[in-house]
Chains A and B, each alone.
Chain A
């Protein structure tokens, strides 16, 4: 599981590096099983403001995928693209973030698919900027409606030259977890 995440992360880092002209580092993905109330602690607490791009996954892997940026990183990324320092969320900056999320998450996902030989189809991206618990609940509701904890495949990303950090979260539904493990021959 960590290996597939690793390959996905490498691809996504390359895609994002090209977009923002900065060196990016991705952590080794971690697989965690967390009670609902503890998931937002991974991103700074339930009321931390995040920019989040969400994809529902279908096909061989049923679940949710997030690309998450803390508020300061989202603003840094907007500044990088538009050369403005703004705390306002214009339509343009939001759709830019959504598109960057689409490209980066797409790179991540296609690498995972190549490696596992699974066919996974993401929905078009949906995006919001809001409190962590409010943002993450939809993923937990979808992935773990029949459990009391969610499986989280978490990868951190960090840029060198600009103030940018963020996360990839994949929340597979229980049935897909077995598909994923099966594809890896576990």
Chain B
């Protein structure tokens, strides 16, 4: 089964399911998984830091921790991360540097939570769609002119 995750949302699933989120621009897709348990979660974060307003899962700092807690509650112990996204979609609009800020905060939170970041594809100027295959732990990334697996 494939679970689609919308902007600012997250989901948890077990193998052989797939976790998918489409159209990551300046947003960052974070996959947290325990390969031994074949258990994974994906979150589509929009913003770096929670300002206390709105849904906590759209912010990197609170969202990643909510997902971590959910995975641990289900028994995950050896959790690692793969991330993708954080592009600058409109290169000339200098006020919007949210992609960079999102990536920095995601990395900071993973560091603080001692979750190893084992693969990443971030930055650039193009959108990404990502699909995580829980059984193989492969993150398939596709964009307008690219396709890769990390």
Contact = CB atoms under 8 A, between A and B. Distances in A.
Interface of A: 35-40, 45-47, 49, 54, 56, 123-124, 126-135, 137-138, 140-142, 145-148
Interface string B111-123: 0000000000000
Contact of B8 (A36, A127, A146): A36
Given A47-B22, A137-B46, A138-B96, A129 B54 contact: no
B39 interface: no
B23 A46 contact: yes
Interface residues of B, number: 33
A132 B93 contact: no
Interface stretch (B62-70, B74-82, B83-91): B83-91
B54 A148 contact: yes
A126 B129 CA distance: 22
Interface of B: 6-9, 22-27, 46-47, 51, 53-55, 58, 87, 89-93, 95-96, 98, 125-129, 143-144
A134 B93 contact: no
A134 B6 contact: no
Contacts of B55: 148
Contacts of A137: 7, 23, 25-27, 46, 89
Nearest to A124: B92
Contacts of A35: 6
A146 B54 contact: yes
A145 B46 CA distance: 9
A141 B9 CA distance: 14
Given A141-B47, A148-B58, A131 B92 contact: no
Contacts, number: 112
6 contacts: A126-B90, A128-B89, A130-B23, A133-B7, A135-B25, A141-B46
Nearest to B96: A138
Given A47-B22, A133-B27, 17 more contacts: A37-B7, A45-B22, A56-B95, A128-B90, A130-B126, A132-B23, A133-B24, A134-B26, A134-B87, A134-B89, A134-B126, A140-B46, A145-B46, A145-B47, A145-B54, A147-B53, A147-B54
Contacts of A133: 7, 22-25, 27, 127
Contacts of A56: 93, 95-96
Given A37-B6, A130-B25, A135 B127 contact: yes
Contact of B90 (A49, A127, A146): A127
Nearest to A144: B54
A38 B35 CA distance: 32
Contacts of B125: 128
A142 B93 CA distance: 12
B99 to A, nearest CB: 9
Contact of B98 (A36, A131, A138): A138
Contacts of B144: 49, 129-131
Contacts of A148: 8, 54-55, 58
